[in-house]
Amino acid sequence: MGLKIQNGRIIDAANKLDFVGDIYTQDGKIGAFNDAPLNFQTDDIIDATNQVVCAGFIDLSVRPQNIAKEAVVAASSGVTSFCVQPDIKPIIDTPEVVKHLKDSAKAAQVHFIGALTQKLDGHELSSMLSLKQAGCIAVSNGNFPVKNLLILRRAMEYAASHDLVFIYRPNEFSLSNGGCAHEGAVSTRYGLPSIPEAAETIALEQCLELAELTGCRVHFGQLSSKRAVIKLQQAKKYGLNVTADVSMHQLHLSENDMIPFDSNYHVLPPFRSVEDRNFLRTGLLNGTIDAICSDHQPHFLDAKLAAFPETKAGISSLETLLPLLLNLVTENVIDLAQGLALLNANPAKILNLNTGSLAIDSPADICIFNPNLEWCVDSENWHSEGINTPFWNQTVKGRVTKTIQAGKVIF
């Protein structure tokens, strides 16, 4: 049994597909294009006229308060797989926590990232092998510091020995010093504790040196600065096995867009200069940055009510992932096929998943969206419990109409 999706624009950069036609799913997998596979029986026919059909999105960074509820939000956003960062409550540092979260998630598309150190305190390594055996897809420090370079080296050696993806958000803790805004004109004008660009670039440089020393495969999460992109580009040029992603909001907003003391603009890493933002876009175009994530962090209202530096960092961003991608296409930063690959094929490659494309016999994880449908970011159209977004009440273009996972419509 299967689905027929007809008359859609089928785009899959991984297999160089871009045509208007039909796609068939069978037994939870991609079955055929245009002509039905042998012995095909349909459960349903989906008309995708004037819509785009692509592989479902894979989000590399999500920090949900309630995994089961945010899995529904993910499905409504075209996301068929997402990775939960270790720095949630409870911290993902033991197999028991992984099992508990799996039981509570009640969603097949959730992957868990294990903590590098116990309680993420940066001192004592977690049992990475046990975390992998429990189902963790990678290990990471989240937004927490690793206390010294010897611990970081040992963690990378441990991850490399068990073939675990090592995800590292570069941030030199002593330099960032609890800051909440980019060290620049805006933080100076409003007296906000600042985070210099060097906090990211120094930590990244150190990790690159250790990657070469240990042979660990490193993925850098949520880059935010021009100099970090340049350093990563040089490392790739000389053959280092590294990849990186950027949060979608970092590609659109800079420190100049911040409304003073509006905590919806409080993110980590902080919004940096216009030059940094533009160079992140260049990094996408030249392949230095491999993927885009939402870095979805929904917060309840009280988490954003204090003074700006005392509020929780993060944006509720799953539901604006597609519209903001389409903005990049409209602004000619990237083309549509490139943009979709940054959300599906490339993250799948980073995580060694067999999803992220529309290849025959691959899992039928599919997103169907109307690129021209306008909607307002407001309470009538919003699914997440967190409404902490700087795009609230803005009209955006691009809306997911169907999300299919393993051949079943989940939204």
Q: Catalytic annotation on 295?
A: yes
Helix (H) or strand (E) holding 24: strand 17-26
Contact in structure between 292 and 251 (CB atoms under 8 Å)? yes
**Residue 223 identity:** L
The CB-side HSE value for 324 (13 A sphere, CA atoms) comes to: 24
Q: State the alpha helices, DSSP H only, in 162-262.
A: 173-176, 185-190, 197-214, 226-237
Give the length of the chain. Answer: 411
Spatial neighbors of 300 by CB under 8 A, at least 6 apart, are: 65, 385, 386
Buried-state track 190-218, b at ≥16 Cβ within 10 A, e below 16: eebebbbbebbbbbbbbbbebbbebebbb
Q: How are beta strands 291-293 and 194-195 bridged, if at all? A: unpaired
Mapping DSSP onto H, E and C, the string for 109-171 reads: CEEEEEECEHHHCCCCECCHHHHHHHCEEEEECCCCCCCCHHHHHHHHHHHHHCCCEEEECCC
Identify the active-site residue in 12, 276, 295, 365.
Answer: 295
Report the interhelical angle of 149-161 vs 197-214 (nearest 10°).
50
Contact in structure between 196 and 175 (CB atoms under 8 Å)? yes
Residues assigned a catalytic role? 295
